[in-house]
Amino acid sequence: MKKIQIIIIFLLLNSNLISSSLFEDVAINVGFNIFRLIGDNPSLQPQFPYKDGKITYTGGGLEYIESGIDISATLFFDTNNIHRLVIGSEFIGMNPKEVRSAEDYAYFYRYHSVNFIDGFLGYHFSFYKAPWQNVRIYSGLEMMFNNIILNELKWGLKSVKKPEIVSEFDSTLSKPHTFRIGSRIRVGFEGRIMDNVYINASGTLGIYNLLLRNNSTGELFHIPNPFDKGEALQPFFNFLISFQYRFKDAK
């Protein structure tokens, strides 16, 4: 991950040199993305499901769309900007919170926080160009180097009438730093806004933990519990919209 960040910094500081020697053009992308896990494994189940009239803590609650930020560099191999190499990093935080009433003026709570920083490297191919605003449609395959830096669950009981109850029932569980290799397919479009500034929007579908899974630690995004049977493949969806600056104004 540190190597990828160093490469991105190098690209930012030396973009004109790179674009004039190794590639036809270099672009920097900075944007906002939304991320959602998909599937039915325990990580996506509610944190307070009911079974036989009782609450059972089986889910991770990660069933919602979450947001993050993305920074990347696109390196164009040819003058027509058909073949590209993309390298970048993204940060996403998932923070589902759930509560259930316990009695008058008291409630159970479960706050699950998962933060991860991912590096990615891929090849994109532009297969269509519109006759206006240099609009292009592209697709490609990316490898992901995924680092979960925080996976923590806080749970307990809070009482409005008796605040001291919190100190008796609060608990925190966490997993250590986790690294996985994943892959995704991206499809997107780009178009000029003005001069060297472009808008770039794309969607991806992939597997977050394609390689290096570890069944002994349970589901990747889940705090270990007796309901886990191992670590299943975790598919996901990601949508990104970013502003792109090109160091050459492509015609």
> What pLDDT is recorded for position 47?
84
Q: Which backbone phi and psi does 10 adopt, to 5 degrees? A: -60, -40
Residues 6+ apart with CB under 8 A from 85: 74, 75, 77, 121, 122, 123, 124
Structural contact between residues 110 and 98, judged by C-beta atoms closer than 8 angstroms = yes
- pTM score: 0.81
> What pLDDT is recorded for position 243?
96
Could you tell me the mean pLDDT of each successive run of 10 residues in the chain, 251 residues long? 51 46 80 93 82 66 92 90 94 90 79 94 94 92 96 84 62 90 97 93 96 91 79 95 84 50
- Give the three-class secondary structure for 21: helix
Tally: H helices and E strands in the chain: 3, 12
Strands (E), 77-215: 83-94, 97-103, 106-129, 136-159, 171-175, 178-194, 197-211
From the list 74, 90, 89, the residue with the least C-alpha distance to 125 is 74
Structural domains in the chain?
Answer: 2-91+117-146+182-246 (2.40.160.20)
CA distance 54 to 104: 18
Partnered with residue 113 across adjacent β-strands are 152
Structural contact between residues 196 and 19, judged by C-beta atoms closer than 8 angstroms = no
> What pLDDT is recorded for position 204?
97
Residues 6+ apart with CB under 8 A from 121: 4, 85, 86, 87, 142, 143, 145
